[in-house]
Structure 1
Amino acid sequence: MKYKLGDFVRFVDEKMEGFVTRIIDEQMIGVTGEDDFEIPVLATKVTLVHGYKSPGTEVTNAGNETEIPQAEFKTKGIYLGVVPDAKANSVVHFNLINDTSFQLLATLTTDKQVFKGEYAGIIAPDASAKVYSAQLADLQLWPRVLVNVLFYTTQNIEAPGPLTFADKFKAKDFSGTKKNLPVINQQGWLIRLDEPEMVIDAQKLKESFFKSAEEKVTITKPSREVDLHIEKLRDDYQFINSAEILNVQLAHFNKSLDAAIVHQLPDVIFIHGAGNGTLRNEIHKALGKHPKVQTFMDAQKEKFGYGATRVVLK
């Protein structure tokens, strides 16, 4: 199979083009066009559009190794940066990021009952390389990923021992907010492969021995309107199933209700949406037996319809 996820291709027999968003088997691929509709097609029926490079898939290279003062030589900072494809949103690209001053000899192999070498190469200091791509919808089917790294420098610096990382990624690995990734300067999820050196602060260690047993807990005052739509609560909502989504929403509801009671708010509105009514029913069930709730009702139907509940507190 000569095509990879994220490749830009043109149909041979039709005036159509799009991005490869699925590798079905050795003969078939899925191509998504401008209408976001994925079409299964024989790999022989499309051709690569040369000259296009998908953002997030470029290999950056710092060139030949230059002499770095020993005090400025970075020995830590190996990451996997997971970046959504700018055009084919259903595809993510794994970039091996070298934020150290070493050259890296790196390999990535996938393990799904059968081992498959996906990448092998040299990554310069302060550089990165695209090492793997995957379809977001197939997250639960992703293989285990094995990364092996050797460190090299011509300078008088002791190189660390070989780095080995192996993991089968799950939705929780992408539960954090996207951040600006080092070196490639794009938004994505960052997975650290090496651990930063532990720096012990003697003063903080000393203070910890004299810390009061009772610590003041600060509870933030909630808004009078609490939006429980999952896209407002988690950036990774597309990775989690409906049961997990409901648990996240109910946890935020309970936390906000407790905060409203602590701050003695007279009432609070929970925006849960209409949907299939599951979240609304769970909220009403909890409110019905809460000792601090005076009453509750549908809130401002002209504004929310049946998608919000107003809670009056005692």
Structure 2
Amino acid sequence: MKISVGDKVRFLNEIGGGTVSRVEEGKLIYVLDDDGFEVPTLINEVVVVGKKVEEESDDSAVSLDASAQNTYQFEESDEAGEPKLLLAFARDEDLSGNVKLYLINDSNYFVFYTIGRMDKSVVNNAYHGLIEPNTKIHLDTLAINFVDGIEYVCQFLLYRQSKPYDLQQPVSHSFKLAGAKLLKESSYQSNDYLEDKALIIYLIKGVFEKKLEELSHAEINKALIQKEQQPNTLKQRKKDNKEMLEVDLHIHALLDDTRGMSNKEILEYQLAKFNEIMEANKNNKNKKIVFIHGKGNGVLKSEIIKTLKKKYTWHNYQDASFKEYGFGATMVII
């Protein structure tokens, strides 16, 4: 088998393909995909779908055991730019209980990386190596239950090979993922790096991501200040119309502090409040109660509807006024 730089190839173990940009060490090739990233892969994991049209000399053809490519030098950009490094978890379409793990270097820096799994007080190294600028690497395909609850510890050292740059301090980052989150379709979003939707974890954030995070914190603090200035009666208030009761089930309207609570515990608290209101008003015939649950991912609304169908079958319910609440509220008529 003979491969030449410029050949069109298709991946055997995943969707996509691209153009061969180089071959290293006789077994490893780099494929330039449609997004402009070089994807390293083994030669036996691709199939050639088109040969380079231009006739090449013997010196440019790359055999499986060729060593000429070992002299390859990465052509660096003159601008260092900002460092940005991330992990992406994408659903494995072939095996529903698995995720594909990618390391993505969206910067002009070379990065030495180690990624390990915490085991009590020690780290078991899982992945290590060098990732070149503007490159993504498929690190592994993992069973979701293998990732569930495990703390990962990452360390990075950034540098440039042939261009001057500002010294970058070594970076350490740790994270932990719940298997339940990886099973939710809503956890995966469209992104600029993969064709498939993915759960993105920023290991080194760019300026935009940092500003977005600061903005989010500022907005949260502003909302907390406004909430503290409001009387507690806003948590459950009557409309001017005496026949209607409005109950806000957003967790921030029910509790001042939710730290330490899991999503399951938050949902259970919201449903308990819903049942409390329903029990207190179940004998108030024709009473209208608007439960504000928000649009979100629809879990709270779905649980409320299930409870109404199972426990309060004699009450009528419908979507509340779209003009006033959008899709985020349900009205119950006792």
Bigger Rg over Cα: 2
Q: TM-score, normalised by structure 1?
A: 0.47
Q: TM-score, normalised by structure 2?
A: 0.45
Larger helix proportion of the pair: 2
